Structure 1
Amino acid sequence: MTSIAQTSRPDSVRAPLPGRPYRAPNRREKLSIVSTGILILGALYCLFPVFWVLMASTKNGAELFSTFTLIPSTHLWDNIVELTQYRDGLFWRWMLNTALYAGVGALLSTYVSALSGYVLAKFSFPGKTTVFKILLMGVLVPGVILAIPQYFLMAQVGLTNTYWAVLLPQIISPYGIYLARIYSAAAVPTDVIEAARTEGAGEMHIFSRIAMPMMLPGLVTIFLFQFVAVWNNFMLPYIMLGDDNLFPLTVGLSGLLNQGATAPSLYTLVISGALISIIPLILLFLLLQRFWKVDLAAGAVKA
């Protein structure tokens, strides 16, 4: 009778397995579950526009406005071909311009930030605290506010409507310098610098051969932030440039979008171009994330 009663017991009141008693989640586990749920919702919220662009780029001009957007179609390749043929491949010229602005600008900005942050962290000089406070003030100033003054400065030296008009203002990044200062203070031991000086090494040799390899994970972060910022920058090139052959993707696609008011067929080109423009950013994140993993592993070994 006992065995019959046990087998007929509902699953909801079944006794726990031997050796594995039921334990209600504690407060920390509940908080972890809630936090994970919030992060998942945030990720879905951020990824939904990307999914929308992917679905919309598969439609032609008629389907874009007459069908449900989240249902895919079969015109993605046709849209890419049409985008490539637009004004003899002007879109890919915009893509190369953007890669030039973002790649060269981010590399130069990372080096300047690394050198400036290293000096602020490891050297003592009069006015150091004042310089750092001014740097923090620069972090709080939006780049849009500086676009007009930068235009007048470039106009004074005759560099407007050139590649330099977009590259030069991107080299100095207060936020990048701030991150480099924080990271170099934590990652570069002062004892190593003093030992190198004792051996007769010069300051630039110490910085390039000793400090920069130690700062590599932090510099990758600075490079990535600056690359994405320049890649997505709109206001500065919009003010500085007048020749559409010099436009980056943001300004070029914005011009196509404005033309779409009179030529709706251009909307599919804008959406397809937006989809292609995010692919390099995704690849860059995937390629550079290994540097953070290496840094975490190195820290575990040192500990």
Structure 2
Amino acid sequence: MTSEPLTTRPAAGPTYDAPAPPVGRTPRRGRRRSAQGSPSWVLTIAILAAVAYFLLPLWWLVVASTKSNADLFSSFGLWFADDINIVQNLQDVFTFQDGIFLIWGRNTIFYAVASAVGAAALATASGYAFAKLRFRGSTGLFAVILGAIMVPLTALAIPTYLLFARVGLTDTPWAVILPSLVSPFGVYLMRVYAEGAVPDSLLEAARIDGANEARIFFSVALRLLAPGFVTVLLFALVATWNNYFLPLIMLNSPEWYPLTVGLAQWQATSQAGSGSQALFSMVITGSLVSIIPLIVAFLFLQRYWQSGLTAGGVKQ
């Protein structure tokens, strides 16, 4: 009697050879790498060109602020002169005309902060209402707001001046702050952000618990809308800080000027040649000083700004 083995090896099945790639064709993986390699270099070069395009004027401003009036026209524009006069230029900026540059800077900060906070608050409340509340005429009203984005601000400057002149608000800070509180783009941005950032289930739970709409907005929704609020605040801050045409037609007294109008007046004085002192170096140095607060604001609020731009566009 013979015993069979305990383990048996299964019979080998038929084997198939992998088909050889056609002659003249490269493997698919290699083609994908080569297809992705070329656009990456193109995008890198495009990004570097864009960075250079935006940083080159800032570099010129930093270099020019270290030069005297004579060196501005006799030395290379993108490099420093032999004599660095940044300290003297700063002293001239802050002491010229009894330190009126500091008054212009204080006015600019007041106009920008008041307008930015007010515009962001109104845009946040309006965007939340359009996104989460249902009321009659909301679609038509939002369409009007979208149409207002297409209207340039310069087209509204003269009617706004006539309106404020009728009520006696010209040559006052209100003439700059009140028009800056209206931000149609901020309302649009906050509606898009509120659609994705505030869940409807959370609002329904708050309503079931007995909270009214005002308490829901301030206690629940406003915390979720904080990144979008900061985003609109930054946009409004930059727009008001750099606004030139509206303060130019609204304000007559130099003590109410912002930095944009004040530096333009110094530039006009230099070009007219009235006076013994040319103000070109002071205008450039003052321009450099005027953008430092904006850079600081963006550095401190950058994370809120980035999340506010991206989170609203992702549907949850």
Could you report, residue by residue, the CA deviation over 1:137-160 in whole angstroms, capped at 9, with x for unpaired residues?
Answer: 001111111111111111111100
Query: What is the rounded CA distance, in whole Å, between the counterparts of 1:238 and 1:295 in structure 2?
Result: 32
Query: What is the rounded CA distance, in whole Å, between the counterparts of 1:247 and 1:181 in structure 2?
Result: 34
Query: What is the rounded CA distance, in whole Å, between the counterparts of 1:293 and 1:48 in structure 2?
Result: 24
The equivalent residue for 1:12 is none
> Alpha carbons of 1:298 and 1:183: their partners in 2 closer, same or farther (altered >3 Å)?
closer
Q: What code does the residue aligned with 1:131 have?
A: L
Query: What is the rounded CA distance, in whole Å, between the counterparts of 2:246 and 2:183 in structure 1?
Result: 14
Tell me how far 1:27 sits from its aligned partner: 2.1
Q: Within 5 Å, give how 1:1-303 maps onto structure 2.
A: 25-73=33-81, 74-261=84-271, 262=273, 263=275, 265-292=278-305
Q: Which moved more, 1:279-288 or 1:200-209?
A: 200-209
- Name structure 1 gaps, 5 residues minimum: 1-21
Tell me how far 1:292 sits from its aligned partner: 4.8
Query: What is the rounded CA distance, in whole Å, between the counterparts of 2:210 and 2:117 in structure 1?
Result: 29
- Name structure 2 gaps, 5 residues minimum: 1-29
Q: Which moved more, 1:289-298 or 1:112-121?
A: 289-298
Could you report, residue by residue, the CA deviation over 1:144-177 in whole angstroms, capped at 9, with x for unpaired residues?
Answer: 1111111111111110000000000011100000
Query: What is the rounded CA distance, in whole Å, between the counterparts of 2:110 and 2:152 in structure 1?
Result: 23
SS at match of 2:301: helix
Q: Which moved more, 1:111-120 or 1:190-199?
A: 190-199
Query: What is the rounded CA distance, in whole Å, between the counterparts of 2:305 and 2:98 in structure 1?
Result: 41
Query: What is the rounded CA distance, in whole Å, between the counterparts of 2:248 and 2:126 in structure 1?
Result: 29
> Which structure has the larger Rg?
2
Query: What is the rounded CA distance, in whole Å, between the counterparts of 2:209 and 2:71 in structure 1?
Result: 71
Could you report, residue by residue, the CA deviation over 1:232-281 in whole angstroms, capped at 9, with x for unpaired residues?
Answer: 01010001000111111110000000000115620111000011111111
Could you report, residue by residue, the CA deviation over 1:157-210 in whole angstroms, capped at 9, with x for unpaired residues?
Answer: 110000000000011100000001110111101111111111111211111111
> Alpha carbons of 1:149 and 1:297: their partners in 2 closer, same or farther (altered >3 Å)?
closer
> Alpha carbons of 1:294 and 1:124: their partners in 2 closer, same or farther (altered >3 Å)?
closer
Matched pairs, number? 280
Q: What code does the residue aligned with 1:234 have?
A: Y
Tell me how far 1:228 sits from its aligned partner: 0.4
Query: What is the rounded CA distance, in whole Å, between the counterparts of 2:94 and 2:264 in structure 1?
Result: 17
> Relative to total residues, which structure has the larger helix share, 1 or 2?
1
Could you report, residue by residue, the CA deviation over 1:28-85 in whole angstroms, capped at 9, with x for unpaired residues?
Answer: 3422321221121011111111111111110111111122222214101100001111
- Is the Cα–Cα contact under 8 Å of residues 231 and 304 in structure 2 kept in the other structure? no
Tell me how far 1:298 sits from its aligned partner: 9.6
Q: Percent identity over the alignment?
A: 43
Query: What is the rounded CA distance, in whole Å, between the counterparts of 2:306 and 2:150 in structure 1?
Result: 30
SS at match of 2:76: coil
SS at match of 1:71: coil
SS at match of 2:236: helix
Query: What is the rounded CA distance, in whole Å, between the counterparts of 2:153 and 2:141 in structure 1?
Result: 19
> Alpha carbons of 1:175 and 1:293: their partners in 2 closer, same or farther (altered >3 Å)?
closer
Tell me how far 1:217 sits from its aligned partner: 1.2
* TM-score when normalising by structure 2: 0.84
